[in-house]
Structure 1
Amino acid sequence: MASGLVQSGAEIDGFTVGECVHRGGMATLWTVTHPGIAVPLLMKIPRVSEGEDPAAIVSFEMEQMILPRLSGPHVPACFGTGDFASQAYVVIERIAGDTLYRRLPDLPLAYEEARGIVTRIARALVDLHRQNVIHHDIKPSSIMFRASGEAVLVDYGLSHHNQLPDLLQEEFRLPYGTAPYMAPERLLGVRNDPRSDLFSLGVLLYFFTTGVRPFGETETLRGMRRRLWRDPQPPRRLKADYPPWLQEIVLRCLEIEPVWRYPTSAQLAFELGHPGQVKLTARSEKLKHDPCSTVLRRRFNRDLSTPRPKLDVAAQLASSPIVAVALDTEEGSSALNEALRVTAERILKTLPSARLACINVLKLGRVTIDRTLDEQGHNKHIDRMVQLRHWAQPLRLDESRLTVHVLEAIDPAAAITEFAQVNQVDHLIIGARQDSIKRTLLGSVSAKVASEAACTVTVVRPPRLAVLAKQDTAGDADRSIGPPGVF
């Protein structure tokens, strides 16, 4: 059946065509039903008539290859595809509601609302990148939200899959995408760097908080190439009340070189989730464009304008994990905390782009009224944050790679597990104390975390020699401490 003959009431491979709900530049969208599928469905059909853009066919082939391989709440479920020999189509679930494009008349949004929206999109990108896909067309009309709150990324015709042929790269020399949101390296033919999506998300965050696109509306290739050397106007120049932490995040996303951006979408989502701990640099204070000397250096520096080999998606994510370590700040935990530090140091030494989150749980009583001050009148929360930073000092991490978090909870194991899930933690390190009757009967925090956390968990015990030294009433100060045991 030719695409141009598709009409309401037609049947294609068991799908009954309903009404046309959208006519785009590359495809049309139709409602369809199927007797064996209960959820609302859409059928996407490419425009392949005489005179249509040939890129429409290639991008549709990419979408046909990629969509069936994706899963999870952040992508539309795929229920079928058809080839070009009879009728090309993709059938996906119909997400209720409108795309984020509907919010454009409301811009600029309140900072907190925009932060919440972009945080959810960043988490969706975490899921997508972990499935080896770079979207390459992050923009308001490509983003929807489920009733449960998760962001859903749609339209994969321009996407890159790390394990599939990149037909757009092979068949076209010009970059395809939405000009205002396109990352600079895309203009150089680089399509395998997931940080390109972070640039596009930075454009969206800039736009939604200022009401102005950072690079204007230009559609010419010459105009787009300016972003290889010219930075955008700092948001604080447009809005005097723009928060420094937000400008820090936006301008880091919009860095010209991918290596200067956040290494992963998970790390960006982490920053957005903890604005009070964003490390402020000169970016946060900028009120003007970079000086002409910097712009000229970028423009005529061949190293900055020449494509270079990039890590693939999986390698980029693996080299930049979020590592969390759960610490006990109570007296008598020094040997265990030292063992935790040794373990964390070993992991971080091999991962220079990793970030570390130090966690402590301030346990609340189930029926008692908890006091915020200790017996000396010190704030418990602040004291523990100071202790966490003191613990991390020997690691000598850059402040942009370190955050400290004091969680208040009745159930420490549940609090740690929830923190790891919400913040996309890749590797959690937690200590296990010595055996006791209470822990045997009720179960240890480390055992619960290890069994329930969705990430990798390393459980560390203090070195045996350190435990013996602690129990030695003679106090053998010269006794050495061996390496921690990892379970």
Structure 2
Amino acid sequence: MTDTDGQFLALEPGSKFDGFTIEKQIGEGGMARLFLAHDENGRQCVLKVPRRTLDVDPVAMIAFENELRLARYLEDFPYAHMPVSQSGGECRYLVMDYIPGANLWARLCAQGCLSEAKAIALVKKIVHALAELHRRRIVHLDIKLSNIMITPDDEVRIIDFGLSNHLDLPDLIYESFQEPKGTPAYIAPEQFFGVRDEPRSDIFSIGTMLYEMTTSKLPFPNAHSELGVINRIKGDAVSPRRYRTELSEGFAALVMTCLQNVPDRRFAGMDALYAALEQIEPAAVAAATAPPATAVHAPVPAMRGSRMLARLTGQFLSAIRSAEGGKLDEINAWIAGHLARRTPRYRIVAAMDNDSRARAASLNSEILAQAVRQAGLQPSIITVLTVLREHNVAIASTERERKDRNAAYREAREAMKRIIAGFARDDLPIGINIRSGEPVDAISSCVTDLDADLLVVGARRLNALSRFVLGSTAYKVLTTIKCPIMVIQENAGRKARVLPAGQSQTAVPAALVTASPADRAPVGGTG
């Protein structure tokens, strides 16, 4: 099958694709198109088919890859679109249940905000679904009105798992991007600090939805700038009763509990939130049956800001984390305790070169093989690291630069995936981390951010002149990385050596740099 525009598979109405017949296109995003189709038995479904160009936005690319990976854990999840990952030709795609109806945002825009009783009844269904999702060890992390589908019989379905995190797998989003991802007005405060393994983050988002469903207002409407996010985290939302006085005090208290900055002050879990909703529901239903003192017009929800995806830079994140005072100090204290309570897993960073030459490929395979051997000694997570020189996938000044950087990112990721494929095991999580900048700084920041226990790097054989010119790079690596280092020598006749943090030698770490799209020659100690 050919491309019509160089970006997407040519799937026109009536065309065939991997046993499916295309009916029509029903959506399009940065990474994929959505097609309504039917299989050979006439069953309707939705196909999510990826773009094929190299300049796909990295966030969209990783989010789609994350959806593909999570599909096996959601195939029998009745409160979602029950996705199945399949391969057709050269691409992997998703087959999803067709969910007739509209998302909750569109429903509220058409009908206005809900009464307290109707909001409780609807959110109970969402909370019940999320409780089951959490039991499957998956945190959604992007719950909002537009990600909730309402079927014709008023059942709910949760969609868009691109930013979700399976607590027993490497977090693709966290390992791929330093900055937080999500919708700023909806995500919990701890998500801005890089915490993505806290189920109560979804409770915060439920509180935001309840607030918006009943008032047409967002509790934190200005969280789209550095100052706005900091002020949002430092402050409290006003009670929803300020905008609709007929809302009960019990309902308002429930919403405000969901919106607590520190997770320990929210409900203990979705089951606890469900019980609280059931407790206040009878009074809400009784109040709904009584004639109102005055007619209340329900305005259309103010949704413009809540659909904006967070694109916060590393500098932005540093500013948030360095801010001090009051609630920020409380959140930082909670995060410190949360990290201390995590079940420890041995973290190995394997630094590799995405150069396509045979020498690099051979050394990369040995680097990962050694990392896998070390991981076999105890429960471990391996992170494959590679570095793009002079690239920053978060910022681009021109459209051409953005496309070039996105292409470099995708090429590097595909190269790492090909290497990992030969070592894939269900019991050994292997993630990919692509960073930009100077190799030594990128390695150091990755080791620090992931709190790595072991760094595995390659060292190429160098002549005397190369050692004189490049030796300082190796010295800096071995004296700045604060964890044990295993150096894999390029010549097969010598065994790998594990060096303690701070010890130096003259071998140059291989592997850490890719040239720009305009100049593919390796630089910075890879030759």
Q: TM-score range by the shorter chain?
A: 0.5 to 0.7
Q: CA deviation at 1:58?
A: 0.7
**Matching residue within 44, 56, 65 for 2:60:** 56
Matched, 1:88 2:86: no
Displaced runs of 4+ in structure 1, greater than 6 A? 310-313
Q: CA deviation at 1:101?
A: 1.5
Matched, 1:299 2:328: yes
- Does the residue aligned with 2:236 lie in a helix, a strand or coil? coil
Q: Is the 8 A contact 2:207 2:256 kept in 1?
A: yes
CA offsets 1:198-243 (integer angstroms, 9 cap, x no match): 1001000001111100010543344223332211112122222221
Q: Distance in 1 between matches of 2:242 and 2:116?
A: 16
The alignment's TM-score, normalised by the length of structure 1, stands at: 0.56
**Matching residue within 104, 109, 119 for 2:108:** 104
Q: Is the 8 A contact 2:144 2:205 kept in 1?
A: yes
- Does the residue aligned with 2:212 lie in a helix, a strand or coil? helix
Q: Distance in 2 between matches of 1:21 and 1:311?
A: 44
CA offsets 1:100-137 (integer angstroms, 9 cap, x no match): 11123233311111111111111110111111111111
CA offsets 1:63-119 (integer angstroms, 9 cap, x no match): 011122212321212244238x81231010101111111123233311111111111
CA offsets 1:420-457 (integer angstroms, 9 cap, x no match): xxxxxxxxxxxxxxxxxxxxxxxxxxxxxxxxxxxxxx
Q: Distance in 2 between matches of 1:311 and 1:145?
A: 38
Q: Which runs of 5+ in 2 are unaligned?
A: 284-323, 344-527
CA offsets 1:435-483 (integer angstroms, 9 cap, x no match): xxxxxxxxxxxxxxxxxxxxxxxxxxxxxxxxxxxxxxxxxxxxxxxxx
- Does the residue aligned with 1:75 lie in a helix, a strand or coil? coil
- Does the residue aligned with 1:4 lie in a helix, a strand or coil? coil
**Matching residue within 309, 325, 328 for 2:339:** 309
Residue equivalent to 1:32: 37
RMSD (Å) for aligned C-alpha atoms: 2.6
Task: Name the aligned partner's letter for residue 170 of structure 1.
Answer: E
CA offsets 1:284-315 (integer angstroms, 9 cap, x no match): xxxxxxxxxxx9422355525758327679xx
Q: Which runs of 5+ in 1 are unaligned?
A: 279-294, 314-487
Q: CA deviation at 1:166?
A: 1.2
Task: Name the aligned partner's letter for residue 156 of structure 1.
Answer: F
Matched, 1:176 2:188: no
Task: Name the aligned partner's letter for residue 67 of structure 2.
Answer: E
Task: Name the aligned partner's letter for residue 29 of structure 1.
Answer: L
Q: Is the 8 A contact 2:203 2:270 kept in 1?
A: yes
Inter-CA distance 205–112: structure 2 relative to 1 (3 Å threshold) = same
Q: Distance in 2 between matches of 1:114 and 1:199?
A: 16
Matched, 1:115 2:120: yes
Task: Name the aligned partner's letter for residue 263 of structure 1.
Answer: A
- Does the residue aligned with 1:176 lie in a helix, a strand or coil? coil
Q: Is the 8 A contact 2:119 2:210 kept in 1?
A: yes
Q: Is the 8 A contact 2:120 2:281 kept in 1?
A: no
Residue equivalent to 1:136: 141
Paired-residue identity, %: 32
Residue equivalent to 1:270: 275
Q: Is the 8 A contact 2:85 2:92 kept in 1?
A: no
**Matching residue within 210, 226, 229 for 2:231:** 226
Q: Is the 8 A contact 2:83 2:97 kept in 1?
A: yes
The alignment's TM-score, normalised by the length of structure 2, stands at: 0.52
Inter-CA distance 112–155: structure 2 relative to 1 (3 Å threshold) = same
Task: Name the aligned partner's letter for residue 328 of structure 2.
Answer: R
Task: Name the aligned partner's letter for residue 63 of structure 1.
Answer: E
- Does the residue aligned with 1:180 lie in a helix, a strand or coil? coil
Q: Is the 8 A contact 1:189 1:307 kept in 2?
A: no
Q: Is the 8 A contact 1:184 1:225 kept in 2?
A: no
Task: Name the aligned partner's letter for residue 67 of structure 1.
Answer: A
- Does the residue aligned with 2:276 lie in a helix, a strand or coil? helix
Task: Name the aligned partner's letter for residue 60 of structure 2.
Answer: A
Residue equivalent to 1:12: 17
| Aligned residue-pair number | 295
Q: CA deviation at 1:140?
A: 1.2
Report matched runs for 1:183-332 at 5 Å.
183-275=188-280, 296-300=325-329, 302-303=332-333, 308-309=338-339
Residue equivalent to 1:439: none
Inter-CA distance 208–276: structure 2 relative to 1 (3 Å threshold) = closer
Inter-CA distance 46–307: structure 2 relative to 1 (3 Å threshold) = farther
Higher relative contact order, chain-length normalized (CA < 8 Å, sep 6+): 2
Q: Is the 8 A contact 1:44 1:89 kept in 2?
A: yes
- Does the residue aligned with 1:43 lie in a helix, a strand or coil? strand
Inter-CA distance 103–217: structure 2 relative to 1 (3 Å threshold) = farther
